[in-house]
Amino acid sequence: MNENKLAPPGYRIKSFPRKDRIGGSIAIVFKSNIEPKLVTAFEIESFECAEWIFPLVGSDDKLRLVTIYRPTYSEVHPVPVSTFLRQFSEYLESVVLSPGYLVILGDFNIHVDDPKCSNGNRLKDMLSSCRLTQHIDEPTHKHGHTLDLVITRDSEPGLLGKPKVDFRISDHDAILLRLRNPKPPPVVRDITFRKLDKVDIESFISDFHNSDVCKNPPRVLDDLVSQFNSTLTSLVDSHAPKKTQSMVEKPIQPWFNEEIKQGTQTRRKLERKYRDSKTTENYRNYQNQKNHVNYLMDHAKTEHLSKLIQNNKGDQKALFKVTKSLFGQKCDPSFPPHDSLTSLVNDFGIIWILDYGLPRWDQS
């Protein structure tokens, strides 16, 4: 059956069917005058994913739309949520570095609305660590839980208003959202950290031994645990106090491509493998992949900058603008010191008359 026959007038459908199974797929419905590009689509142990690029009208920016479906645990799909959280975390490490506005949405089948749900809390912590925001805070399922999510970067305006949970077309509700188009401004973010590597271990141990938790511990277990936690917190604050630093989040580089994205993902996997085992072979594999990614980045930067210069070789104004930006120079025009714009223009006119005389017009 032609799936586009199911689309409303003026729209098309593209889907990623499930392998080796009849029925079911991830699909998107979009206007016919838009041509999305499929970046990747895969079905792994714990979830299905399709990643698309949409051009934004009136802008050079792109929208990176990621659709996710995580089947629930069952006899047919006996995969625990912990497996999904691990695999989804690995996928996030690469997709958050990709260029374009990022919108991740789909059916996660995790109760993020329940504060007692450990899996929901782990997912929210994971998104927060990647500087991502989840926008749905009301039930999306007939049983009253929030299972369908809309996720964007913290640093992007992303959505125009709050997503709206609308009519129910199955056991899940439809979610309506509007995307905004402007280029996001630089974001200044405060980070808090401790210099734990600067702690004097012997002094820390000595202070701990001299504390009440060692000299005069409570006899009740709950009181002992509470005193132990408060003592350690106090010692850490004393030996490694919290420090706050402001950071400007850098925009995503235009030379970043899919090959670098895949290479970075492989490099991080090899790095984790090396940190777990500390073998010479794993260290060599990690170093080789790191050097390969550095080569890919250098090559992509060189190619991008060469294209910029080549595309502007016939336009001196644009070429000087490009070269100044490469050397970190400002492109703002500079004028001689002046009291007002009117006096500056008059001075330019006087210099012109002194050099070239009064202009003459043909009276015929």
Tens place of pLDDT for every residue, the chain, 364 residues?
A: 566 677 777 788 888 777 666 656 788 888 777 788 889 888 888 999 999 988 776 667 788 899 999 988 888 888 999 999 999 999 998 898 888 889 999 999 999 999 999 999 999 999 998 889 999 988 988 888 899 999 998 877 667 778 888 877 788 888 888 776 544 445 677 889 888 888 899 998 998 888 888 888 888 888 888 989 999 899 999 998 999 988 876 666 788 888 998 999 999 999 989 888 889 899 999 999 999 999 999 999 888 888 888 877 777 777 777 777 666 555 555 666 767 777 777 777 777 666 666 655 554 4
Within a domain: 362: no
111 shares a domain with 43: yes
Within a domain: 340: no
167 shares a domain with 30: yes
289 shares a domain with 161: no
Taking phi over 0 as left and psi of -120 to 50 as alpha, with beta for the rest, 24 belongs to left
CATH number (domain holding residue 22): 3.60.10.10
Within a domain: 293: yes
Within a domain: 278: yes
Distance CA 51, CA 96 (A): 12
Q: Which residue has the tokens 């250098």?
A: 298
The total domain count for the chain is: 3
165 shares a domain with 98: yes
161 shares a domain with 29: yes
Distance CA 148, CA 160 (A): 19
173 shares a domain with 64: yes
CB 15 within 8 A of CB 43: no
Q: Specify the DSSP class assigned to residue 141.
A: B
Q: Which pair of tokens denotes residue 361?
A: 């017009």
Cα separations in angstroms, 26 against 41, 67, 70, 249: 9, 7, 11, 33
Distance CA 224, CA 227 (A): 5
68 shares a domain with 24: yes
User: HSE (CB half, 13 Å, CA atoms) of 143?
Assistant: 8
Within a domain: 209: yes
Within a domain: 337: no
CB 155 within 8 A of CB 187: yes
Within a domain: 344: no
Distance CA 170, CA 192 (A): 44
290 shares a domain with 180: no
Domain that holds residue 223: 195-241
pTM of structure: 0.49
pLDDT at 182: 45
138 shares a domain with 105: yes
pLDDT at 327: 66
* Alpha carbon of residue 142 to chain centroid: 31
Q: Is 55 helix (H, G, I), strand (E, B) or coil?
A: strand
Selection from 119, 122, 134, 23 nearest residue 79 by Cα: 119
267 shares a domain with 229: no
Helices (H) and strands (E) in the chain, counts: 9, 12
Give first-to-last CA distance, the chain, whole Å.
76
**Residue 330, phi then psi, degrees to nearest 5:** -75, 145
pLDDT at 109: 92
Within a domain: 303: yes
pLDDT at 184: 43
Distance CA 353, CA 356 (A): 5
Q: What angle do CA 232, 237, 239 make, to 5 degrees?
A: 90
